[in-house]
A = this chain, B = another copy of it.
Amino acid sequence: MKVTYQGETGAYSEMAVYKFFGNKAEPVPCKDFHDVFESVKTGAVLNGVIPIENSIEGSVNQNYDLFLNYDLKVCGEVAVKLAHVLIANPQTIFEDIKTIHSHPQALGQCRNYLEKHTWALHPEYDTAGSVKMIKEKQLSNAAAIASEKAADLYNMKIVARDIADNPSNYTRFLVLSHNDADPTGDDKTSIIFSAKHAPGTLYNVLGEFASRNINLTRIESRPTKTTPWQYNFYIDFEGHKTEKRCIETMQALEKYAVFIKIIGSYSRVI
């Protein structure tokens, strides 16, 4: 069962694939998030897994934006605990490290630790990919930030542990598909909402949820990109889109909306 994810073998996204699909999964690495959406769209794979939000660094904006361009559904969510370690080639001496390579979010999550040293930070496209790169280039003055699993996979040395500013560091991933999931009784629905430009619209929108006792679990805004300082709202709320209270809410929102796009109902994890 093929599932695409962004990054290299050993990436946190790959862990998310296994956590959601179990050992029947056959993770397929790809270069960027756009490729994940594209390969699900074309049917090259049935599912893809993308990070949407980290508990320290916040939203993965590019993935929020890609939901506007693709008519794909979210059929599940999964959270993975991130435990960063500092990884180097086996012959590297800690004192010789000059440059640190990792995904910008991982560099951000270890900011306090990194600031205690005079290392140059190099943002890369992936955590595990950074380990692979310093191995392939046999860099002896470099280290990468990634998971312990990535260190093992590439037979590299862990030179420091517990380097994240905050040990409570989770990334929430969404599972992409052509169809969303059937109701389980404990579900969540994600929508994109473009509000008509009028005072108090967001307040009125939230009122439609509140009056039906529907809790919101997340609200995020992203630029429309067409008009500066205008935003689309991404709202996650409790309930499945087939529930009566959710159907009524979606109907009630239409009077405040330029458009509403339901991107999926799925079993709630968080």
CB of A209 within 8 Å of the partner chain: yes
Docked Cα-Cα span, A218 to B166, in Å, equals 28
A216/B228 in contact, CB under 8 A? no
B56/A223 in contact, CB under 8 A? yes
Contact with B along A145-171 (1 / 0, CB 8 A): 000000000000000000000101010
Docked Cα-Cα span, A203 to B214, in Å, equals 12
Docked Cα-Cα span, A48 to B270, in Å, equals 39
Residues of B close to A170: CB separation below 8 A: 228
Residues of B close to A270: CB separation below 8 A: 228-229
Nearest CB of B to A185, in Å: 19
CB of A222 within 8 Å of the partner chain: yes
CB-contact partner of A108 in B62, B166, B218, under 8 A: B62
Nearest CB of B to A31, in Å: 11
* CB-CB contacts below 8 Å: A173-220 with B: 199-200, 202-203, 206-207, 209-210, 213, 215-220
Docked Cα-Cα span, A166 to B225, in Å, equals 8
Residues of B close to A222: CB separation below 8 A: 58
Residues of B close to A217: CB separation below 8 A: 229
User: In this complex, what residue of B is CB-closest to A171?
Assistant: B228
Residues of B close to A223: CB separation below 8 A: 54-58
Contact with B along A67-106 (1 / 0, CB 8 A): 0000000000001000000000000000000000000100
User: In this complex, what residue of B is CB-closest to A109?
Assistant: B225
Docked Cα-Cα span, A215 to B55, in Å, equals 30
Docked Cα-Cα span, A215 to B197, in Å, equals 11
Docked Cα-Cα span, A220 to B61, in Å, equals 13
CB of A221 within 8 Å of the partner chain: yes
Nearest CB of B to A150, in Å: 20
Nearest CB of B to A70, in Å: 15
Contact with B along A42-59 (1 / 0, CB 8 A): 000000000000111110
A215/B229 in contact, CB under 8 A? no
A202/B226 in contact, CB under 8 A? no
Among A172, A206, A209, the most chain B Cβ lie within 10 Å of the Cβ of: A206
Query: What would be 28 A-B contacts, judged by CB atoms less than 8 Å apart?
Result: A54-B223, A55-B223, A55-B229, A57-B223, A58-B222, A58-B223, A104-B104, A104-B123, A123-B123, A166-B226, A168-B228, A170-B228, A200-B206, A200-B210, A202-B206, A202-B216, A202-B219, A203-B203, A203-B206, A203-B209, A206-B206, A217-B229, A218-B221, A218-B231, A219-B219, A219-B221, A220-B221, A228-B270
